[in-house]
Amino acid sequence: MKLALVGDIGGTNARFALWRDEQLEAVQVLATADFEGPEQAIAAYLQSQDLPLGAIGSVCLACAGPVGGDLFRFTNNHWRIDRAAFCQTLQIDRLLMVNDFSAMALGMTRIADHERVQVCPGEAQADRPALVIGAGTGLGVGTLLAQADGNWLVLPGEGGHVDLPIGSPREAELWQVLYRQLGHVRAEDVLSGNGLLVLYRAICELDGKPLQHATPAAISAAGLAGEPVAGEVLEQFSCWLGRVAGNDVLTLGARGGVYIVGGVVPRFAERFLASGFAKSFRDKGCMSHYLHGIPVWLVTAEYPGLTGAGVALQQAPDHSPDAVRESR
């Protein structure tokens, strides 16, 4: 039986692995800038594993953006995929492309207990939706549903573009500054890597403080070192993430739990766990009781998107080369 290959492709890096016996093997990270396209990157990966072209039967790639059809252009790098040319060049039988956050959501079905940290205690209800939300380059939001046949249904959406909620007078003042700077204020404008910088600038403008940091990494480091303004950025970020996640739980009835993913929050995980996230998550007035008992986890797994691509490949119908059980 031929091997399967999975990939999780972002703007800067492409992660590849073999998928065998429902497990990842030989994970490798390649820079997208070093290759003309995914075919060349995968050929290099196969060569590093001493595998000839034709050794791989199926490929599943998690790609940022809506997928479908025979041509896909990546929005955050120079790569493109033509299905027929891709399969011919790499001598594979089928190519499955899935939305990157759909793959991330499916990855939650395979994480181990040691790959997640409890943020809010509770008991997940297996027959109810689970919310997957993650701050990275943007803010991804997806819904995960268990199916009677043992497979999983992913409902991706554009939840990162909802309006940023206001839950306190301080947040109202910050929102006014953000509105002057941005116009329409989306959750993603604050709840993302670059959002840390946007939020920092808004706080400095509101309080008349000088700007001392120019990157999200510098703000995170300063906040962890105890600098008050940068510390407020991390705290307010955590509270706003709690408000957005709580809103999503109410909308979806997501009593199956909440998974916090993405690359931003793990950088200040201890500060996040001690933040006002939980209070803001449950701060829903007369519906606050609904949020009690819903578990929230911070996911620390290294390659959940790759694992999710393997799950997508595993449960896609064999007769359909570009099918995945997700609704767009």
Q: What is the pLDDT of residue 318?
A: 62
Task: Give the whole-angstrom CA distance, residue 123 versus residue 125.
Answer: 6
CA-nearest of 166, 157, 161, 208 to 188 is: 161
Strand order in the sheet with 3-9: 23-31, 13-20, 3-9, 56-63, 94-99
Structure tokens at 318: 């064999």
Query: Where in the chain do CATH 3.40.367.20 domains reside?
Result: 112-300
Q: Check: CATH 3.30.70.1380 for 3-99?
A: no
Place of tokens 């997928």: 67
pLDDT of residue 73: 86
Numbered residues of the known binding site for ATP: 7-12
Q: What are phi and psi of 29, to 5 degrees?
A: -110, 125
- CB within 8 Å of 1: residues ≥ 6 apart: 57
To 5 degrees, how large is the angle CA 132–CA 307–CA 145?
40
Q: Convert the pLDDT of each residue in 105-153 to its tens digit.
A: 999 999 999 999 999 999 999 999 999 999 988 899 999 999 988 899 9
Q: Find all residues with CB under 8 Å of 49, minimum gap 6, and list them.
A: 18, 26
9's enclosing H/E stretch is strand 3-9
Confidence at residue 99, expressed as pLDDT on a 0 to 100 scale: 87
Report pLDDT for 1.
54
Q: Residues marked as binding?
A: 7-12
What does the pLDDT read at residue 321?
Answer: 39
Other beta carbons less than 10 A from residue 237's beta carbon: 28
Residues lower than pLDDT 50 in the chain: 319-328
Give me the numbers of helices (H) and strands (E) for the chain, helices first please.
Answer: 12, 13
Locate CATH 3.30.420.40 in the chain. 3-99
Residue 77 and residue 11 in contact, taking contact as beta carbons nearer than 8 Å: yes
Per the listing, tokens 């199956």 go with 256
Q: Determine the Cα–Cα distance for residues 117 and 133; give it in Å rounded to an integer.
A: 15
pLDDT of residue 158: 85
Task: Decide if domain 112-300 falls under CATH 3.40.367.20.
Answer: yes
pLDDT at site 85: 94
